[in-house]
Amino acid sequence: MPRPAARVLALLELLQSGGIRTVTELAGRLGVDERTVRRYAGHLLDLDIPVESVRGRYGGYRLAPGYRMPPLMLSDDEALAVLLGLIAGRRAGLTTAVSTAGETATAKIRRVLPERLSRRLDAVLGALAFTDPPGETAAPQSAVLLAIADAVSHHRPVSIRYTAADGRHSARTLHPYGVVSHSGRWYVTAADLTTGEDRTFRLDRVTEARILPGSFEPPAGPDPAQRVLTGLATAPYRHEVTVRVQGTPEHIHTRLPAGVAIVEELPSPGSAEPDTERWCRVALRVERLDWLPAVLASLDRPFVIERPDELRGLVEAFAERLKDSARRTP
C-alpha cells in the first residue's frame, strides 16, 4: 500500500477512537506536518467519510456523531492478536456465560481473512501448545458483568440477586469498588449495605444485577484486586496454618500466591548478622493439610511450624517417604 494511503487510513483509525483530536496531536502520531494532516482529512471527505473540523483553542478533527464505519479491516498483526486473545481468554475464564460467543467471533474473523493470511494463522494456531492445562472456570452472565462494571465506573449502587455456595438465595444492595478476574473466576469487591461489611462476591453466582439511583464515594485503601486476594486468603476454612519461613515475600509467593496466603515480613532481631536473610510469617486457611508439606519443601528455605501440630506429623512423614525413595536402588 502506498505510504500516503496508509497514513490516511491511520488517520481514520485515530478518529474512530472517538473525541476531538487536535491537528498537532494527529501530526505527531502520523509523523507528518500539520498541513499534511489537513490534506489527509480532505482525502477522507472525498471518500464521503464525515470528518468534522472543530474550531477553537481545543479544536481539531472528529468523526460526525452516529457515523458507522464499514466492515472491520485488520492488519496481519491485529488479526493474530485478536485470535490469540480469544483463545487465551477462553482458557483463562475471561469470557461471559455465553460460551459460544468466543467461537462465533473467531469464526467471523476467520471468514473475512484473505487466504494468504488465513493459512499463516492456521500455521501459528496449529503449532501453538500450552504448558499448563486449562483450569476450572466460572464465567458470569454478560448482562451481570456489564451492569456491575458500569456501576463501578460511575460509583453507582447496584442491587443483585445472589446464590451462596450452600445454595441460599438472597437479594443485596452493594456499593461496588471493582471487578477482578482471578484463577478463572470473576469477582466484585463491594460494601454490602445489607450487612454493613466489605465483601467479595463471585459474579457467576449473581443471577441479576440492576443499577440503582444515587452515587457513593469509594473508600481509600487497598485496590480491588488486593481486596479480593485478601478476602480469598482469609476466608473461613477447616485449618488455620501459621508458618515462619526464612526468605523474602517474593520468593514465598512463587509457591503460595497472594490469593492463598498472607505473608508478613518480620522485623529482624538486633543480634542478627546484616547479611542474614530475614524471616516472614505465612498465614493461610485450608480445608486439607496434605498438600502443604510438598509446598514447604519446594520453597527450599528453613521454616518453623507454629500451628497446627498436625502439620508437623505430615511434614515428618513426607520427609521419611523422600528418604525411603532416595535409598532405593534400581
Q: Give yes or no: residues 19 and 57 share one domain.
A: yes
pLDDT reading at 267 higher than 90: no
85 inside domain: yes
> HSE-up of 97 (CA within 13 Å, CB side)?
12
170 within 8 A of 151, measured Cβ to Cβ: no
> Bigger pLDDT: 320 or 185?
320
For the chain, what is the domain count? 4
Of 167, 189, 223, the residue at which a domain comes to its end is 223
What is the CATH classification number for the domain harbouring 33?
1.10.10.10
280 inside domain: yes
95 inside domain: yes
pLDDT reading at 198 higher than 70: yes
> Which of 75-84, 205-214, 265-274 shows the lowest per-residue confidence on average (mean pLDDT)?
265-274
174 inside domain: yes
pLDDT category at 273 given cuts 50, 70, 90 is: low
Report the pLDDT value the prediction gives residue 170, as an integer from 0 to 100: 92
Residue 174 one-letter amino acid = L
What is the per-residue pLDDT across 224-236, written as a single tens digit (0 to 9) for each? Answer: 667 666 666 555 6
What is the CATH classification number for the domain harbouring 281?
3.30.70
Of 174, 191, 223, the residue at which a domain comes to its end is 223
Vertex 48 angle, CA 45 and 53, to 5° = 35
Q: Give yes or no: residues 270 and 320 share one domain.
A: yes
134 inside domain: no
pLDDT reading at 323 higher than 50: yes
Of 42, 63, 84, the residue at which a domain comes to its end is 63
Beta partners for 202?
Answer: 187
Cα–Cα dist 11/27, whole Å: 9
Count the residues in the chain. 330
* Cell numbers given for 245: 519461613
Q: Give yes or no: residues 209 and 253 share one domain.
A: no
> Which of 18-32, 57-71, 98-112 shows the lowest per-residue confidence on average (mean pLDDT)?
98-112
Q: Give yes or no: residues 85 and 50 share one domain.
A: no
pLDDT reading at 277 higher than 70: yes
Report the pLDDT value the prediction gives residue 236, as an integer from 0 to 100: 61
228 inside domain: no
- Per DSSP, helices labelled H in 186-243 are 224-233
279 inside domain: yes
- Those residues whose C-beta lies under 8 Å from the C-beta of residue 309, and which sit 6 or more positions away, are none
Cα–Cα dist 148/143, whole Å: 9
Q: Give yes or no: residues 147 and 193 share one domain.
A: yes
Q: Give yes or no: residues 31 and 109 share one domain.
A: no
Report the pLDDT value the prediction gives residue 299, as an integer from 0 to 100: 92
pLDDT category at 79 given cuts 50, 70, 90 is: confident
Most confident of 57-66, 106-115, 152-161: 152-161
56 inside domain: yes
Report the pLDDT value the prediction gives residue 134, as an integer from 0 to 100: 53
Alpha-carbon radius of gyration of the chain: 28
Most confident of 47-56, 73-82, 291-300: 291-300
Omega before 222 cis (within 30°)? no
Q: Give yes or no: residues 255 and 314 share one domain.
A: yes
pLDDT reading at 312 higher than 80: yes
What is the per-residue pLDDT across 55-74, written as a single tens digit (0 to 9) for each? Answer: 877 678 888 876 666 556 66
Q: Give yes or no: residues 55 and 92 share one domain.
A: no
Cα–Cα dist 265/246, whole Å: 10
Q: Give yes or no: residues 158 and 207 share one domain.
A: yes
pLDDT reading at 120 higher than 90: no
> Among residues of the chain, what percentage have pLDDT more than 90?
24
Report the pLDDT value the prediction gives residue 1, as an integer from 0 to 100: 40
What is the per-residue pLDDT across 31-50, written as a single tens digit (0 to 9) for each? Answer: 899 899 999 999 888 888 88
Q: Give yes or no: residues 246 and 319 share one domain.
A: yes
Boundaries of domain holding 271: 239-327
Q: Give yes or no: residues 154 and 205 share one domain.
A: yes
Q: Give yes or no: residues 313 and 244 share one domain.
A: yes
